[in-house]
Chains A and B, each alone.
Chain A
């Protein structure tokens, strides 16, 4: 966060210089507008940094002066040293890798299976009507309740995937089906006037036409999948960040719990950022507004 602040401030001071060097004449009002905009933005970022710093300081100092028992909250400095300790041991990275792998695999499976099933539903109105009540029920039911069943059926490792996929699959099916059905019926009619068969309509009109929906499904899914993976690890696994958190809690090692949570936050932020990047590439390539 601190680096991004520097970037913004640097960008801010550079703008007037750019204008001068390119010889762009800007009106006084426009310059004022830009300056105000920059100030507001810098203000927001400064406040964000301040809030974080204040929370960390309060956390640290409160524990140091025994306002509360540090055993219950750990402290930022202990988390920092725990991070380096676990990092050196390698266990932090192995657990992160396990969670990451479980998340990516479950995400991919849920996306592919979801799109395939949505395609089948789009293809056959009969199937669509048959499946409708089951999808609605499946969507409404809390999938975490199925945890023990997955554990018994799939074993300790695979049940993590089962949990994660079950959480994101039905949402994917519903979102993508809605996207398919939402494609302008006249686009389908246009394809039919050319004599297109169902497969051509799907590939040339419906799939590319529902790209915005597919992209939003992707963004929702990565978060849901991560929830599923952590819950799955809580229930059964022997590795992963969820396991680290649960195990740390059981041995009352709050520093380990907090370290794993921080790692999880970083991981989900990175995943999200990567997806946003991919999404903007796709949007540019396919001219999605």
Chain B
């Protein structure tokens, strides 16, 4: 496998060349005075630059742990996690992490929330504000910059949370069940809107890792789906369904395509076998 090495401080001008994530023989154990819990065992996979993968698996199999590993929030007990060949040593500007719930700070306006990452990382304030405002305008939230989070609907809040992640211009995006806190209709609508945002050429194409327990969400959004087994989590199988054609993701259309049900059945079976076993 060719590993592209680039200095992590250099902002990539050609995004497609960077953003390769690689996990090699990763094991992770949690320790408590009474016991040792093995969460992951011998996990290896890689995500190509610009690729969108989804990780599905039974609850408690350590799906979100992958995101924490890639984000540098925790260190693997064994094995290595690398981004473009460089080992992950801690949180990096190149990685954006979107949590399950929006966690917008109630005491900050929408715009001020969007600047949070830039403030923490010491990025140029004016440029960050420009990016935030232009994304708000493009993604249907123009005019809301001075509102407070409690004045927004759940779907709007989640879009603001996505923009907050994008303002710092990461080239790898980690999504931890970003729709799970929303009702079904909002979820479908937001998946389409988010796909559009993620495919937006102006923000640049990104490597995306989506963690979800929702099979249809995984199929409708990702290029490739990884199925995990239960604890200790291992990669059970990989599926590239190739339902996304023409360069743009349209989750809602994919859901109603004839092939969708077959894909769903394949994944369902994979997961089901494990639940029974």
Contacts and interface: CB of A to CB of B under 8 A. Distances in A.
Interface magnitude class on chain B: 20 to 34
A58 B26 CA distance: 83
A186 interface: yes
B196 to A, nearest CB: 24
A186 B101 contact: yes
Interface stretch (A77-85, A188-196, A230-238): A188-196
A194 B168 contact: yes
A289 B149 CA distance: 12
B107 A194 contact: no
B117 A194 contact: yes
Interface in B22-71: 71
A38 B117 CA distance: 51
A288 interface: yes
Interface string A203-234: 01100110100000000000000000000000
Given A195-B92, A195-B93, A204 B103 contact: no
Contact of A194 (B91, B101, B106, B150): B91
Given A189-B99, A205-B105, A288-B107, A196 B120 contact: yes
Nearest to A195: B91
Nearest to A191: B120
Interface string A45-88: 00000000000000000000000000000000000000000000
Interface magnitude class on chain A: 20 to 34
A123 interface: no
A193 B90 contact: no
Interface of A: 184, 186-187, 189-196, 200, 204-205, 208-209, 211, 286-289
B121 interface: yes
Contacts of B148: 287
A186 B103 contact: yes
Among B116, B119, B148, residue most surrounded by chain A Cβ atoms (within 10 Å)? B116
Contacts of B106: 287-289
A193 B71 contact: yes
Contacts of A211: 107
A186 B99 contact: yes
Nearest to B109: A287
A208 B91 CA distance: 23
Contacts of A190: 97, 99, 103
A287 B152 CA distance: 14
B73 interface: yes
Given A187-B105, A190-B97, A194-B91, 8 more contacts: A184-B103, A187-B103, A193-B91, A194-B116, A204-B116, A204-B120, A287-B150, A288-B106
Interface in B129-153: 148, 150
